[in-house]
Structure formats: structure tokens, C-alpha cells
Amino acid sequence: MPESLFCSPDGAPVQYWQVALPGPLRQLFTYCIPAGQAVCAGMRVRVPLGRGFRVGVLWAPTQASADWVIKPIESLCDEAPLLEDDLLACMAWAADYYHYPLGDALLAAFPPSLRQGASLRCVALRLSAAGHAALLADSIRGCRQKNLMLQLAAEPQGVAVHALSDAPVSVRRRLSALGLVEEFELTSLPRWPAIQAALGVAPQLNAAQAAAVQAVFATLSKFAVWLLDGVTGSGKTEVYLHLITEVLAAGRQVLVLVPEIALTPQWVTRFSGRLGLRPAVLHSGLSDADRLQAWLAVRSGLAQVVIGTRSAVFQPFADLGLIVVDEEHDASLKQNEGFGYHARDVAIWRARRLNIPIVLGSATPSLESIRNLELGRYQGLRLPERAGGAVLPKIYPLDVRTQRMQGGLSDALLAAIEQHLLAGGQVMLYLNRRGYAPNLLCHACGWVAECPHCDSFVTWHRHAQRLRCHHCGHERAVPTHCPSCSAALSPRGLGTEQLEDVLTALFPGFGIERLDRDALSRVGELDRRLARIHSGAARLIVGTQILVKGHDFPNVSLVGIVDADQALFANDFRGAERFAQQLIQVAGRAGRADRAGVVLVQTHHPAHPGLNQLISQGYGHFARGLLRERAEIGLPPARRAALIRADGASIDAPNQLLAAMADWLGQMPDEQLVIWGPVPAPMARRAGRYRYQLLLLANDRPTLHRALAQLAAWQGSRRPAGIRWSIDVDPLDMA
């Protein structure tokens, strides 16, 4: 309770509070509350704003001058704060660090339904008497309904909704409507390890794994950032599982952050099987109701393990004891638009605040993390060898100059594919371009199908019979003839659909699965495809980067990288780092069990120094070379960066806005600050808007931070109509 008591306009004593409200204004709003009302930071309030009402969060008590007209809040939404101090502090830090409005940042910590004021009950499901009877009579037809009912039958005390990530809401609603399952409010769960049911057998840790586990155990009650640098298949996940078990035994919660696409039911099953509990699984596809259930369960401590994609870092843990960030180099941990936070970095902040360890795992650590290790900010753990006797695959460049190619595959690669298939192995081909062909071209006049809204060509999706832009969502029918000269059109370039067709024709009978975003648009499709691969029904696998993320295919003996050249010559300064990470990760899919693996890299530049260094000396060496280069040129992570983006419907206005910003910053010369631009973005027009960017580089964070704060303050008064602009701190995606 604040000490200061004032009087409201009608003479009653009041207290004044700052309230964080969503919206672009980077300020807090002051309201008054009756003095007798017990309130504290983190409670939601409904307040009048403009002509309507908004839900905001009480931030801090404040003083107010008697001359101000200060409106009272309309109502309090909560009896207790929804966000605890540590999360409030985290949101305040993140809003400040990423220069994002506090009210909007706070919203990221709430499930959407709480922004309207939903009920706060944790709900669980159990089978009703009618449900038991129906199961006994075997009268349930729907396969998903029956599965859920069998699950519930096995757990008579009920299953919390947050732990039912594999059962869609629609199925649950249907069963409730039929009276076959019943909902009840959950107040407690049997604590781990009482619920350990059928625990999978843990392999005996090897020496490197045991050393890693020991090192982290020794600091379990202290903040430390551990970089677990382990080659693909070295058993990093085993290390996480051992650590998690220990933390659960101490009665504390665990957060595991993973890249979006790696979060498959197989992966979750491995976790639950070994931990003996159902983790709360959080990803972007969750319904609002499920998101709320998970949030409540985390807050009450009922959810002991949370596995989630980047936004899970804002969950309101009751007693967090450990954070794991798997594939810490993965760019999907950073949000590029709006609130541009990096989940790894926010997680590190939270771990420091809570004084707990955080483990960052990767076979290809980011340059940022390698540098932090070199600077002594992180501690290193290494797993240099594959676990369980598997060996790392051998990587060979394959010179395709002057070679005969069929559907993008050289004779040498085709021969290797055949050999591995006949020897009983599986073959994986990596091509980071979905669709049938990236261009549709007129050979007579040179016309190429373009996107009307972007500086980009449209991709021909032959199976769907559409032309699609991969940047703005534009799509249209495929023209039968060239619109400019009526000649026939032909595809140019290679996409995964075409590769799939070529392989089906060349290797009939071996079964082929394609893993790319198009193939995964339907729910459950990824799992069906992965199941066919795991069962051996599919022996050939074609895919984009989705397949490199965390999937483990023990029988793959050959990996073919169909086109290394597109990545070798990327124009982003992070191109080489990304290429190396992708190559090593894709290569890591080969030879995971008892089969030795081979990786063939098709290229027109077999002597490319980067490629050869990577192959002969490995990722660590290559990455340290890149770090030295970045330091010489003065690019991140040697310097801190922020990207200011602006876009608008006309070509000049966004450029002028950024030029004015650059001028304005230039008037306060700071030797530590370097300004590059404005320049057109690499994709200068997207979705009909012209895009420019300004890159700010600084030797230290305070300098960069000062410049950004000045910009945010300066722009408040001048915002040219129709122009959007944003600040991206530590940008990863420069497109």
C-alpha cells in the first residue's frame, strides 16, 4: 500500500497508480483508486480511456498534482496480482531493452483470454460413468475420441487440460457435450515422482555426458549460463533429461525452449516417457482456452515441466528451477516483427533474476554464444562424440560442373542414392526451396511470372496448380501461355515438389516422403509422414530446413545436399554462419545409429575456401574464423546492432523518415555510434509497401540504447501519415 493519500474530486481519499495500457504510446497512465482498496502491482484493472474502456495492469503507485484531472479506474479485475514481481521486472526489462511499449510488452505475458477478463479455474477432465460404459460397450467410433477416452480411463484421478496437448479442443468439447467426459476444477495434482508410470529406460551416460551433468548439478541453486556444445547425436537431450529429473526431485519447475518446428509429438513423447509426467506443451497453434489453462497451471505450479516455443519464456512460473534452450542458435527463437525479443536472451535474464542455471544446447552454437563463452560470460560443456557408438558422417563436396544432371541430381549423386537404397539404408535430400519450380518462364520472350506486390518471382506449385508468392501470400492461377507473346511457359529452377517427382520416377517402389511447409499445412500431417519414415515405409526423404530441426532418423545413411551454391553466396552478413549451421545440422541426420553416414554436397564451387574449411576443420573452427572476421569489419556480435525499419505505400516517404532520423542522430555525434543507411531493404518492396532500413552499430550497449531512446522520443511528435517504422534490437533477419 502506498503511503500517500490524496482526495478525489468528490473529496474521498484516493491513491494514485500508474497503469500500463496496450497501445503505441510509450508512457504509463495515471488513475486513482479509493484509498481503502488494497491493490498491488500486477493486478489487472479496467480503466476509461478516450471514449471507451481498456484493461491494463497496475504498475506502480505514484504522486499526482491536485491540478490534474485524474480519472478513477472503472473496476479491479483481480483480487491478487496476476503477474509476480519477477515477471513484471522481466517484462519491464524486455520492453526497455527491445524499445517496445511497456503496455504492449506486458500483453505478451498474458494469454489472450485474460486480456478480456476470463475465469481463473484450472480445469481437468475425467471419464464420466456414461463414458466408462461406452468404452466397455465399445460404442465409440471416432478414433481421436476413443484415444482420448482410453487415456482418461488409464488415469482415474483425471488429466489436467494443460497436459492434453495431443487431444484437440474440438474432440474434448464433443465428448463433454455427449456427457462422456466431465470437467472438474483442479486444485492439486499428485506431485512428481508419485506419477511416474512406465518410465523409459535411461541409457548409462558416457563420460562426457556424465561430466556435463555433474558440472551443472554442482551449481543447481546458482545462476550460470552453460553452453552445451555437443555434436549432432551426442546425447544432449539425455543430459537435459538427467538435469530435469534432478530439478523435479527438488520439487521445482523446468522450462524447455525449442524451435517451433521441432516440437513434434514424438519429441514430447520421448520427454514424457522418460520423465514420467505429462509436460505442458506451448506453441503458436494452441487455442486461447488451452493457452489459458497452461498459463494457470504453470502459475499454480501444477505444470511441472513446460516445453514450448519462444513465447513460453514469458510463462508465470511459481518456482522455476532450470531453463533449457535447445538448438539455441535457431533463428525462430527471435521474434522479428512487433515485440522483437530473443527468447534465449530473455531466458538468460530470467535465470539471472531467479538465480538458477540455464543450459543452452546446440551442435552449431550461434556466434553470439561462442563469443560469450570466450569472454567468460558462459561456461562451456562439450560432447565431442556421438553417443552409443555411432560415428559422425563423412562430408564430401561433389563437383557438378559439366556433369549431366537429371532434376538437379548429378549422376554421381544418383549412383550413391541407388547404392544406399540397395544396401537397405534411407536417403535424405535437402533442398531449401519448396514448390515445383521457383520461376515460371517464357523461353520465347523472357517473360517471368512475378508477384505484383513484391520484388520477387512467384513459385510454381504444380500439385496445387497455383502460382504463389512466398513473401506476401499472393497467389493466382497458372497461366497456360505467356501473357506477353502466347508462347508456352516452362519451369526454371528446382523445388522440392519437382525433386519428389523426379525421385519417384527414378526410384519407383522405395517410398518417398516430402517434409516442407506445404506438406505440413494439415494438422497431424507431419506426424503421419514422420511415422512412415520411421517405419521404413518411406526410404527416400526430401525436405527443406524443417527436416533439419531436431528430427532423428536412425536409418539414414546418405544425405545429399542438392544445391549448396544458393547458400554459399547469400548476401546477408550472416549467410556464412547460417550455411554452416544448416550443413552441419543436415549432415547430422546421417548415420545416427549403427550405420556410418555419408554426406554429399553438390556444388559448382568445390574449392570454395569456406566450404572446405568447414568440412576439413569442423564447425567450431569455422565459427571462430567468422567471429574474427566480424570483429575486423565491426559487425555483430563484435558490435551491438539495431535495425530501424520503415515502410510505406510510396517510395520516398519511408526513405525520408529514416534519412531524417539518421541526420538527427548525426547531430549528436558519438564516436561509438555508426550509422549505415538508409538503404532499401534487400527485398525493397513487399506486400505493396516500399521498405527501407537504417542500421545502427555501437561498440557497447549503453551507446546503442541511448541512441534508440532518443529516436523513440524524437519520433513521438513527427509521424508521417501512412508510414510504419520499428526498432529491431539484435536483429537476425535483415531481409
Nearest residue to 359 (alpha-carbon basis) of 248, 204, 223, 245: 223
**Residues 6 or more apart in contact with residue 465 via CB below 8 angstroms:** 477, 478
597 contacts ligand ADP (rule: CB under 6 A): no
Cβ proximity to Zn ion: between 89 and 444 the closer is 444
CA distance 52 to 559: 59
For residue 449, state whether it binds Zn ion (rule: CB under 5 A): no
d(CA 734, CA 697): 14
Residue 469 interacts, among ligand ADP, Zn ion, none and using kind-specific CB cut-offs from 5 to 8 Å, with Zn ion
- Residue 232 touches ligand ADP, criterion: CB under 6 A: yes
**Residue 444 interface partner, choices ligand ADP, Zn ion, none, CB cut-off 5-8 Å depending on type:** Zn ion
Contact characters 455-474, Zn ion, x per CB under 5 A: --------------x-xx-x
> Cα–Cα distances in Å, from 520 out to 281, 285, 513, 534, 544?
19, 13, 11, 17, 12
**Binding track over 153-192 against ligand ADP, x by CB under 6 A:** ----------------------------------------
Does 238 engage in binding with ligand ADP (CB under 6 A)?
yes
Q: Residue 702 in contact with residue 652, Cβ under 8 Å?
A: no
Q: Is 595 in the site for ligand ADP (CB under 6 A)?
A: no
First to last CA, the chain: 49
Among ligand ADP, Zn ion, none, what does residue 451 contact (CB within 5–8 Å per kind)? Answer: Zn ion
Nearer to ligand ADP, 387 or 561 (CB): 387
- DSSP assigned state of 457: B
Complex with ligand ADP: residue 257 or 387, whichever CB lies closer: 387
- Under the binding rule (CB under 5 A), the answer on residue 58 touching Zn ion is no
Q: At closest approach, how far in Å is the CB of 479 from Zn ion?
A: 10
The least distance separating ligand ADP from the CB of residue 241, rounded to whole angstroms, comes to 8
Say if residues 307 and 281 touch (Cβ distance below 8 Å): yes
700: Cα separation from own chain's centroid: 27
DSSP line for 157-168: T-EEGGG-TTS-
C-beta of 340 vs 361, nearer to ligand ADP: 361
Closest approach of Zn ion to the CB of residue 583, in Å:
29
- Residues 487, 631, 633, 668: which binds Zn ion (CB under 5 A)? 487
* CA–CA dist 228, 242 (Å, integer): 14
Count of other CB atoms within 10 angstroms of residue 426: 26
Residue type for 520, please?
L
Phi–psi pair at 711, nearest 5 degrees: -60, -45
- Residue 683 as a binder of Zn ion (CB under 5 A): the answer is no
Count residues binding ligand ADP (CB under 6 A): 16
Residues 333-392 that bind ligand ADP (CB under 6 A): 387-388
Q: Which is nearer to ligand ADP, 237 or 372 (CB)?
A: 237
Identify whether the C-beta of residue 457 lies closer than 8 Å to the C-beta of residue 449: yes
Nearest CA-CA partner of 721 in 650, 617, 630: 650
Look at residue 205 and give the partner it binds from Zn ion, ligand ADP, none, a contact being a CB closer than 5 to 8 Å depending on partner kind. Answer: ligand ADP
Candidate list 84, 182, 246, 552; residue touching ligand ADP; CB under 6 A: 552
DSSP 479: P
According to the binding rule CB under 5 A, does residue 192 interact with Zn ion? no
Q: Should residue 445 be labelled a site residue for Zn ion when binding is judged by CB under 5 A?
A: yes
User: Considering the rule CB under 6 A, would residue 233 count as an interface residue with ligand ADP?
Assistant: yes
Q: What are phi and psi of 334, to 5 degrees?
A: -100, 135
Q: Does residue 217 contact residue 243 with C-beta atoms inside 8 Å?
A: yes
Binding of residue 205 to ligand ADP (CB under 6 A) = yes
* Single-letter code of the amino acid located at 229: D
Q: Which residues bind ligand ADP (CB under 6 A)?
A: 203-206, 209, 230, 232-238, 387-388, 552
Q: Which residues bind Zn ion (CB under 5 A)?
A: 442, 444-445, 447, 451, 453-454, 469, 471-472, 474, 482, 484-485, 487
